[in-house]
Amino acid sequence: MYHVEDQHWWYRGMESITRKIINQHIQPKNKIKILDAGCGTGAAMTTYLKDYGEVTGIDLYKQALDFCQKRNAKLLIRASVLDLPLATASFDLVTSFDVLYEKGVMHETKALKEFFRVLTPQGKLLIRLPAYNWLRGSHDEKVHTNRRYTKSLVKDLLTQSGFVVEHASYANTFLFPLAVIKTTQRKNIPTITIGPNHRSWLI
């Protein structure tokens, strides 16, 4: 993966889509603090994510972090997304691309609650997940896929973790739930107006 991420059409396409999504909510000039949770080989954090601010990468696997260092990534932590060794309310944006579906995660809501915890009151979350179990194939076995998702399932998981989902969409065969409001006061709310007193997430 390290050798193809920079050039392969799929990764380039996902980068373009992700940039457009982030730009709807965050401007590069803002220079925010970003956590790439499950950063893998560091392609996202060392290319387009760095345009928006200071990026910290976290991954469970040493080999992945070694590849990150080859890309000159500096802020790296070896840990699980299920137990982030990070201060509460310390990031403005959390990204998690193709991570929560892995067999090693198992409990997505535990990871989502950790993302919730480390975000600032105005923080945002952007996640990407594979869609539809009927699309499972040999690639899923190679990347240790636990399960694929539907929008309704992801919305339920997010709601259980304290989020309010504003929008969810599909891109190719991957799911982009977007713009979730982080609120410590109310749960299970289908919509909510974004204001200065709410913590908003991109998911």
Greater confidence (172 vs 185) lies with: 172
Residue 4 within any structural domain of the chain: no
Which structural domain, as residue segments, surrounds residue 105?
9-201
Greater confidence (123 vs 29) lies with: 123
Quote the number of domains for the chain: 1
Residue 137 within any structural domain of the chain: yes
199 pLDDT higher than 50: no
What average pLDDT score do residues 18-29 get? Answer: 80
- Give pLDDT, residue 202: 38
User: Confidence class of residue 182 from pLDDT cuts 50, 70 and 90?
Assistant: very low
User: Confidence class of residue 124 from pLDDT cuts 50, 70 and 90?
Assistant: confident
Residue 1 within any structural domain of the chain: no
Query: What does the mean pLDDT of the chain come to?
Result: 74
Q: Which residues pair with 182 in a beta bridge?
A: 163, 199
Kindly state the tokens that stand for 12: 């380039």
Q: What would the pLDDT profile of 88-122 be if each residue is shown by its tens digit?
A: 999 999 999 888 766 556 788 899 999 999 998 88
Residue 105 within any structural domain of the chain: yes
Residue 2 within any structural domain of the chain: no
Residue 121 within any structural domain of the chain: yes
* CATH number for position 174: 3.40.50.150
3 pLDDT higher than 60: no
Residue 100 within any structural domain of the chain: yes
Residue 26 within any structural domain of the chain: yes
Q: Percentage of residues in the chain with pLDDT exceeding 90?
A: 33
